[in-house]
Copies of this chain bind each other. A is one copy, B any other.
Amino acid sequence: MAPTRATIEDVARAAGVSRAAVSKVIRDAYGVSDSMRERVSAAIADLGYRPRVAARAMRGSSRTVGVQLPRVDNSFFARILVGVFDHLEGTGYQTILAPMTHAANGKAALESLVDRQVDAIIAVAPAVSQTWLEQLGLRVPLVQIGQHDDPEHYDVVTGDDEEGSRLVMAHLFELGHRRIAHFTVDQRALSDPPADPHLARTRIYDELMTERGLPTDTRAIPLTEEAAYAETISLLSLADPPTALFAGHDELALGALRASAERGLGPEEFSVVGYDDVPIASHPLIGLTTIDQFGEEMGFLAASLVLERISGRTGSVLRQTDPVLRARRSSARISSATQAAGAD
């Protein structure tokens, strides 16, 4: 049968000391003699004792940072996670992940983290209002990644979506594109004021197209590769199809490339630009032009901010990563034939 797990009491008895003494040793607390530390450590090793997180959480801290993630099968979120783990590793804080389930609205995942009494929360692109996050930030050290909030009680890490979008549009304009479509987020539980990064991208797209007197063609779709594929098919079936697409992010861009590749269209006929620079984007067979917003760095920053808050810092800190354009072969100068075809 499974032997019952050793408790602090067992260790105390084995070492011939009090429970309090053992507690002090495992927490490396002040006021323990060397001989006591040795005896206790020996007993701990002997019994294979490991403190239970639940019992510790009852009296103090769970020594855990909780991360909420919208989806686990998204390469950009994975980049962020890598950054978070890199920073938290060796800090004495464990990390647990509460991925949003299908039904979930983000709230559920964050609440489950609170129920576990995590010492801090890193919320990645949470689909909850800023007001709700403020409440949460009041109770637990909190860092939000992605949304352009302007909070009082938590920190925020984002990319500079406006600058990134300007880089995208300038790139496409320079390549001669004028009929440029744009994919952006579908209806979403948008916070008030709207802070979704996709909204910033769309805003710049609108602004720069309008500035040049060009008609906009924005399509709000679910943020999935499938949706982007389907929408691109319909885009390319237009009498006068666009010559370029600014996809809201790389997953959408990959879906668009799926459609254009199936039709045998190259970048001279249909250029595609994404956002995020997921790892596969740099693969020579894909060569997706995109914006690198340094997901690992975002995760790393969020982790350090959250540690600061655990240490007592309040107020709010905003951090942004600087976007960089990665020009690859999915975008190219428009061919003269294509250009002529689309002439008014």
Q: Does A176 lie at the interface of the complex (its beta carbon under 8 Å from any beta carbon of B)?
A: no
In the complex, which range does the number of interface residues on chain A fall in? 35 or more
With beta carbons under 8 angstroms apart, the residue of B50, B89, B257, B261 that contacts A101 is B89
Q: CB-CB < 8 A to A50: which residues of B?
A: 111, 114-115
Chain A residues 31 to 89 lying within 8 A of chain B, measured CB to CB, are 50-55, 57-58, 62, 72-73, 75, 78-79, 81-82, 85-86, 89
Q: Does A20 lie at the interface of the complex (its beta carbon under 8 Å from any beta carbon of B)?
A: no
- State how many copies of this chain the complex holds: 2
With beta carbons under 8 angstroms apart, the residue of B62, B72, B97, B114 that contacts A78 is B72
In whole angstroms, how far apart are the Cα atoms of A75 and B87 in the complex? 22
Q: Does A151 lie at the interface of the complex (its beta carbon under 8 Å from any beta carbon of B)?
A: no
Known contacts A58-B55, A85-B101, A280-B254: A5-B139 contact under CB 8 Å: yes
A/B interface sample: 20 pairs, CB < 8 A: A52-B115, A53-B54, A54-B116, A54-B117, A72-B78, A72-B97, A78-B78, A85-B99, A85-B101, A85-B102, A86-B102, A89-B101, A94-B112, A96-B96, A225-B279, A254-B280, A257-B283, A257-B284, A258-B283, A285-B286
Q: List residues of chain A with CB under 8 Å of any chain B CB.
A: 2, 5, 50-55, 57-58, 62, 72-73, 75, 78-79, 81-82, 85-86, 89-90, 94-99, 101-103, 111-112, 114-117, 138-139, 225, 254, 257-258, 261-262, 279-280, 283-286
